[in-house]
Structure 1
Amino acid sequence: MSIPPASAQPSPFRCTPGSRADAEPMVGTAPTDTRYLLLEYAGAWGKKAVADSRLPDDVKTALAGLSAAGVNVMLVRRHGGRTAEGVRVFTVEVTPTDAHVRGAMLADVSVLLSLDLETFAATGVLTGLEPWERDLHLVCTNGSRDLCCAELGRPVAAAVSARWPAETWECTHLGGHRFSATLLSFPSAICLGRLDAESAVMALEEIEVGRHPLGFSRGRAGLSGAAQVAQVHVMEMTGLDDLGDVLVLEESHGVVRLLAQAPGSEGAQVEWQVGVRSVKVPRRQSCGDSPFKPATSYEVIAAGPVG
């Protein structure tokens, strides 16, 4: 059997163009976690970032315990590698209105074991860390997990870190490889996708002045997928795109209650209800996936103000 020439070989599958071609909705795909621990690690990142790292075994065990308790644990690094002595650690606690970010510089990664990680997992508070007064921009660049994250994420990390050097970190996993380049910004907790270098800076400028960049939004982290979709839907219907204009009150069985600013009023608020249903669509969800797997997306079936 003859081998086709290289020019005739099929191009390697890339999940981001595939998702675009399918017109897959992005909203509803932001991380749903409300607690995060970010640990600086400038070494090589594997597919399972913490487990594959060269961190001390007792540190890996502690981080695995946090993950098991529902904390989203990520490794982070400056674009281009470590830029300071010591190891930076951050915690994030997402609330309905914002997020509390705290940080510290550890002399060595093993100092992490002296912190009360068990209390943090239970309460979201880790003593020994100070409030982080800047924004925190996390850009997923882990090519060992998905090639699109590296190919599309690194140019975005370069552009964002050039504009906001103290606020920007590469991170190991934000989910949704097929929406690369993807970025999560705190304290807004807005997750963005399908970014390039120019649109990433533009979208973060919108967040910086207090607006939700709806065209690039995957939703607000810390909410369920259905609640993320409902929140963005009400924003699009009302034009209320300032951060905090539309708040999620609760979600139950696909019905999301929200509180929105009343148009043209000073301080008045209107309650909304949005019905959302989930749909499973088979997709290749990452560059390395050969089989199609069910991916969840959401459809708004009813929406309107209450009363």
Structure 2
Amino acid sequence: MEWSRADLPAWGTAARADFYVCLEIPGPWGALAATEARLLDPTVGAELEATVQGLGGRLVLIRHPERRTIGADPLAVLVSGGFADGGWLRRFEVGEPAELLAWVREWGGRGVPAGHDGGAAMLVCSHARRDQCCALAGRPILAALTREVGAESIWESSHLGGHRFAPTMLLLPTGQVLGRLNAVAAVSAFRAAADRALWPGGARKDRGRSHLPPEQQAAEAWALAEFGRRDETPHPDTAGISLAPVPAVDISSALVDGGVRVRLGAWEITVDVERVVTDGEAPVSCGKPPEPLYYWRVAPRQG
């Protein structure tokens, strides 16, 4: 779509969330997934979404590209957070969505829940009722990923935000949000998340870590591409630049003096981050009216 053709940076555009609660709901989802999914009671869905949001998190519906739950089959749940410390992912099952609602209320969004370490997961938006671009771009990626990575770690997801960067995807347990990936790059990014590392996708593909405000998302994504460890193996999707994934615990940032100070391993730098509105316009979603094009500009602070 026009936004991608404008080639503007994607960093700083990840939807905000301190943690994610992902509930398997097979079958079709409506435009508002939590209250319009065919197999989710709208009252329970609304209460679950409001509870998760009230605790600082984000509810995402997921469905397996290959597995189809039937009748009384248990529903998979992924819960992930702790992104500032490298992240954690827990997997378990519930008999019905109301059971998850009770669990979230008891957990309260605090600390690492007990349960099975879920390894890593990649959620790829395929929410056609919300935006056709996501489904058209996301489903081919899903097919390739299930072949290369294995079906247990790959999920279709409801709206992740940022249709203009489709295909959009969320990596757990790192909380990194990506866009505009092809299948080769998506596999590389997933393997980085499995190692609790951040994938240096550069301006076009790295949207940022979702627990941070936009300025810090942009600054960290910029630093990953600018100062990330060089690798001997050519990067599969960044035009000859060789970058290795960076352990998530090796990067941090803070808002200081109107800018952002980023620490990346032994590097520390203060950058200025500015939201720039361009003269052009483009739809942010399939079928929507054009809106002004904008991006986050990152530049090292002088002096």
- Compared CA separation, residues 103 and 276, structure 1 to 2 (3 A): same
1:120 maps to 2:119: no
- Give the letter for the 1:227 counterpart: Q
Given that residues 83 and 173 in structure 2 are in contact (C-alpha distance below 8 angstroms), is that contact kept between their aligned partners in structure 1? no
The aligned residue for residue 247 of structure 2 is 243
Among 199, 210, 216, the alignment partner of 1:212 is 199
Q: What stretches of structure 2 of length at least 5 have no aligned partner?
A: 230-244
The aligned residue for residue 75 of structure 1 is 61
Q: Equivalent residue of 2:216, what SS?
A: helix
Question: Within 2, Cα distance between the matches of 1:296 and 1:125?
Answer: 37
Q: What stretches of structure 1 of length at least 5 have no aligned partner?
A: 1-16, 263-269
Instruction: List per-residue Cα deviations over 1:56-104 (Å, max 9, x = no partner).
Output: 2441232132254132111000004525821112222133132222221
The aligned residue for residue 232 of structure 1 is 221
Given that residues 200 and 228 in structure 2 are in contact (C-alpha distance below 8 angstroms), is that contact kept between their aligned partners in structure 1? no
Given that residues 92 and 124 in structure 1 are in contact (C-alpha distance below 8 angstroms), is that contact kept between their aligned partners in structure 2? no
1:171 maps to 2:157: yes
Among 77, 88, 92, the alignment partner of 1:100 is 88
Question: Within 2, Cα distance between the matches of 1:302 and 1:176?
Answer: 26
Cα distance, 1:201 vs structure 2:
1.9
Question: Within 2, Cα distance between the matches of 1:143 and 1:221?
Answer: 23
The aligned residue for residue 282 of structure 2 is 283
- Compared CA separation, residues 83 and 253, structure 1 to 2 (3 A): farther
Question: Within 1, Cα distance between the matches of 2:294 and 2:52?
Answer: 23
- Compared CA separation, residues 46 and 253, structure 1 to 2 (3 A): farther
The aligned residue for residue 189 of structure 2 is 203
1:47 maps to 2:31: yes
The aligned residue for residue 56 of structure 1 is 41
Cα distance, 1:245 vs structure 2:
6.9
Given that residues 19 and 57 in structure 2 are in contact (C-alpha distance below 8 angstroms), is that contact kept between their aligned partners in structure 1? yes
Bigger mean CA offset, 169-178 vs 75-84: 75-84
- Compared CA separation, residues 229 and 105, structure 1 to 2 (3 A): same
Question: Within 2, Cα distance between the matches of 1:66 and 1:253?
Answer: 35
Larger Rg: 1
Cα distance, 1:207 vs structure 2:
4.2
- Give the letter for the 1:299 counterpart: R
Q: Equivalent residue of 1:280, what SS?
A: strand
Cα distance, 1:47 vs structure 2:
1.0
Question: Within 1, Cα distance between the matches of 2:4 and 2:129?
Answer: 22
Among 118, 121, 124, the alignment partner of 1:136 is 121
Among 9, 23, 45, the alignment partner of 2:7 is 23
Cα distance, 1:155 vs structure 2:
1.0
Instruction: List per-residue Cα deviations over 1:11-59 (Å, max 9, x = no partner).
Output: xxxxxx3122111211111222112111110021111111112322441
What TM-score do you get using the length of structure 2 for normalisation? 0.82
Q: Equivalent residue of 1:62, what SS?
A: helix
Give the fraction of aligned pairs with identical amino acids, expressed as a percent: 29
Question: Within 1, Cα distance between the matches of 2:69 and 2:136?
Answer: 23
